Structure 1
Amino acid sequence: MFSGSQPGFEGHNCRMSTSKTQLIGLDLAGLGDVLREIGIPDKQISMRRSQLWNWMYVRGESDFANMLNLSKDLRATLSKHCSVDRPEIVTEQISRDGTRKWLLRFAPDSPGGQSVEVETVYIPESDRGTLCVSSQVGCSLTCTFCHTGTQKMVRNLTSGEILAQVLVARDCLADFPGQVADPATIAPREGKKVSNIVMMGMGEPLLNFENVKQALLIALDDDGLAFSRRRITLSTSGVVPAIYRTGEEIGVGLAISLHAVNDELRDVLVPINRKYPIAQLLKACEVYPGVSNTRRITFEYVMLDGVNDSLADARGLVEMLREIPSKINLIPFNPWPGSEYKCSSRKKIDRFASYLNKHGYVSPVRTPRGQDIMAACGQLKSASEKESKRKSLVEIDSQ
């Protein structure tokens, strides 16, 4: 069971409820601190926190009253001081292809603060169910092809808020023991409905490293959510120092949001490249722990018409990645209102993919999912941001 290196009780992990201590997202040390604080004797701490851990992450329980192997008095005490509540589901949208998008509202992070909203997306396939999880409210990186990048950075999500997205999805999909799913739900034929996690939602995960690390270590814990490292992928735009830490301290799969084969273009598409240029990024990938031909780094490459989709770009990509066991995901650009880019033609994408395949790279073309509900790659942007802008325009018009 994950114990972590930092207690989670003081401070940043308890934001889903401003009046009670939120237990979701605390490591075992932090959970023990909370139990001690509410009067649980030291000799009971280990047993009680193990019971709570099981209820939260194995059974998916969100009501202390139903935790029947805890005494009635303890359940009452926990209900008074603590919370395992889920965030509010503001909207749930279901695409024609079965993709689901939830807009989740989290409580203010301080008295007098404002609630925040993020989007989480579930992508079902025949052999897996992938949950795309957000790590920040908004984003500070301003990648020019990404809709989320047009939203201002609001704040980091806590480890509890990151994990809560997984719990909400599993609730809605009836993916915990004893739950009964809606027969109309599109999900994998066998196994867990949420079988894979990708940190590819709103925000840059490695600019929220400590909270992402704690959330993923809890998700990996064999006595809890029990995801394997091969079933979790963290995508980064290239925060190089944190890539080294990710390999050493978390060890999940790595995906690089690359999109260009030279610094001049990548400086425009992915501005963090100005701080950590391609050479530094590739060096970090070369030494990422566990990388091999059976566990490759994924390089994400969005296909932009007339920008990065020539055969010269394909040749540059092959040359660039020759020392790194790699898989290249080609992503047809998903349009969004106001974007200056267009998607490459299918002919260009196929030619690009064919060149990569001919040179030994697995390079699938990602099938756009959930476009009709703005849930596809690069399209996420919280409704709170959209509504805030709408209200601002109304106020201007009325003046």
Structure 2
Amino acid sequence: MWVKILLKLLLLTMFIGSACAFETLTKDNFAEPVIEPKLKDYYMSGEQISFNFTILPKTDEDAKLIGGTSGNPRLYEFNTSLDSSTITVMVSYTSGGGATKKGDNYLAVDVYGPEGGVSKINVKISGVVPSISIRVSEIVALAVDIQDAEENAIRPVKIKVINENAFSKDISELEEKYKHLVGKVDELENKGVSVSDLRVKLKNAKEKIDEGKSYYSSKKYLDADKSLSSAEDLLNKAEMLIEEKKISFLIDETKNKLNEMFTKMAEFEVIVNNLKSKGEPTLEYETKLATYKQYYLNLNTKIESAEDYLNKGLYDEAKIKAEEVNKKANQYISEIESIIASLQQKTPTQAQGTFGTNFFEGFTEWLNKNRDKLITYGGGAVGLLIVVFVVYKGVKRYMKRRKWDELK
């Protein structure tokens, strides 16, 4: 028995649903709406606005579809973003007669479908253009939602709103940003960074700012907004490029620090090997050297990560990683220099003294043993060049000392 009752209820529900459902309307069921008077290109905040909007069926058949039935209306909803607004809707039927309804910013109207259907739906809108916070904004002066219809079967009426104060404020801010970025570019150029592409972007941005100011003075607000938007885009791109170049410079600077660290390690190792060949105890220093080599490899991996971040546009991560490596490289260089200095004080003759036959024999032997390490640490030929530079420095010190000894 309960099953039969449930089945009857289900059938009743389906019957009621099918009775309430209408054929789905699309934009093709409506003629082009008529707007009178013609809307302006833009309106100022606080300006009064009033217009008529007439909805028309495209054909006689559509006139019978866009409403409901004589006993079952189709719901039309009207709304506006205007302040202090009034909406008045007048529905006219083909067979004569109709209905009028009035509301403020929202109005729901039942549209029936007597014989012959709907002739037209006239909507009168009046209100005040609202305030906006940006230069130009588009607001909905009238939107129409229809029961059982595709979205925007009737296109919403939109108007552009102008905020004069926002124009003057934005122009001042853009000029300040331009000056600030020019200063940043000057700083980069003084460091030896190529900035020609930045100069071009900033020049173009300045031209757009000046163009926007000119349009604004002539009350050509939409043209002014377009120019100022272009200036904003150019300045934002310049700002990103400046940051990219700053971090790229930091990474290059850090790589130079790592090269310096490698040079110091090579110098340290030459001294240790020289002492070892003299029979001096060097285990403590060999252990320290091995530790610094591992530090060096770790820092190289991190600077590669910084470059990868930069290439992917992750500027904050790249900067943090590069600064970390730079700081550590400086610390290790200072520590190695301190160890070298202590060794030179401890064993002046062997460590810093005559860079003669013993030194070069020791260095040649060390170079042959460590060629693979040099390639790992210094990047192939670059690593070898660094070590050659160490030799060059050693030769200079040796020649200076020899010349001094001869003078004595």
The normalised TM-score by structure 1 is 0.20
Work out which structure has the larger RCO, using CA pairs closer than 8 Å and 6 or more positions apart in sequence: 1
Larger Rg: 2
* TM-score normalised according to structure 2 size: 0.19
